[in-house]
Amino acid sequence: MKLYTHEMAPNPLRVNIFVREKNIKLETVELEFMEGELKTDEFSARNPMQRIPVLELADGTYISESHAICRYLEQMYPLHPLMGLLAKEQALIEMWNRRAEFNILGPAQHCLRHTSLAMAKLEVPQIEQWGEANRQRALEALNVFDSQLAQNEFVAGDRFTIADITTYVAVNFLKPSKIPVPEKLENLNKWFQRVKKRESISTKRTLAA
């Protein structure tokens, strides 16, 4: 298998941490998305959406979308499950994973892409008002996660899962999006400081390093 990725982009980083957490060995190819490498005909043949990450299988199949790649790897490497075992656990992990993706990471990405001059060539047209609206959406969601972590050691319960990976990447991405995490969210801040020390996260540079 071969993974087309980039350590500093949030969605590829989600898969990278997932792979390291499960100790999966595969070839990785880092692509410079800011240099237009995703727009080439060669890469478009792998993913017509022109996004990373993309997982290439031995039979020539290409799987894109972070969650789809993680789902495939979870099935292929079932030891140390990160997506749950029983139906209830799987549903709760999926619920919190999606909440982190759609309510923190997505808004943070919109905020950056629509308010940063450096992203202007990738986001056409840029709509500054949309970026600012998403800034507030991300801040509101952080309160929900802080309340959840007041009752749980990890985002979806008592152990580290893909929901923690997505939430970590989402909160980590707030920094380049210039969305500060309020100090009053003590549970969220303590959780973040704890999980960023995990080997799967600390062994590679991240956006908040």
**What does the pLDDT look like over 29-85, one tens digit per residue?**
999 877 788 989 999 999 999 999 999 999 999 999 999 999 999 999 999 999 999
Question: Which tokens belong to 142?
Answer: 């952080």
Kindly state the average pLDDT of the residues 4-20. Answer: 94
Q: What is the pLDDT of residues 154-187, one digit of tens each?
A: 999 999 999 999 999 999 999 999 999 999 999 9
Q: What pLDDT score was predicted for residue 206?
A: 41
Q: What is the pLDDT of residues 83-131, one digit of tens each?
A: 999 999 999 999 999 999 999 999 999 998 898 877 777 778 879 899 8
Closest among 8, 48, 62, 11 to 30, alpha carbons compared: 8
Three-state DSSP class for residue 30 = strand
- Cα–Cα separations (whole angstroms), residue 113 to 75, 82, 83, 91, 181: 33, 30, 30, 31, 19
Q: What pLDDT score was predicted for residue 34?
A: 76
- Give how far the C-alpha of residue 111 lies from the chain's centroid of Cα atoms, to the nearest Å: 16
Of 93 and 132, the structure prediction assigns the larger pLDDT to 93
Q: What pLDDT score was predicted for residue 209?
A: 31
Question: Which tokens belong to 146?
Answer: 């802080």
Q: What pLDDT score was predicted for residue 117?
A: 72
For residue 207, is pLDDT > 50?
Answer: no
- The pTM assigned to this predicted structure is 0.91
Contact 127, 151 (CB under 8 A): no
